[in-house]
Amino acid sequence: MLWSDPDDEPPKELRDAQDMLRRLGVLMAVAVTAAMVVAALMGLREPTMPAPSPPAGDSRGPATG
């Protein structure tokens, strides 16, 4: 490289922006993974409310046809 050639390095502002976006990407990946783990754990819990029962006196059974 000649002494008169410009630096191949991007400006400091661009490097700072790239570093910030890289950190944001890592943070987003961790947040999404944590949300998926929490959602999976919530799905494994027992339901807190029982399933609704059919109304009293409705002895026809499931609808057919």
54 within some domain:
no
Domain count, the chain: 1
Tens-digit pLDDT profile for residues 3-55: 777 778 889 999 999 999 999 999 999 999 999 999 988 887 766 676 777 67
Q: How many angstroms separate the CA atoms of 61 and 58, rounded?
A: 7
Please indicate, yes or no, whether the overall pTM of this predicted structure exceeds 0.75.
no
pLDDT at 59: 63
7 within some domain:
no
Eight-state DSSP code of residue 20: H
60 within some domain:
no
| Boundaries of domain holding 33 | 12-45
Q: How many angstroms separate the CA atoms of 6 and 2, rounded?
A: 9
Q: How many angstroms separate the CA atoms of 65 and 54, rounded?
A: 19
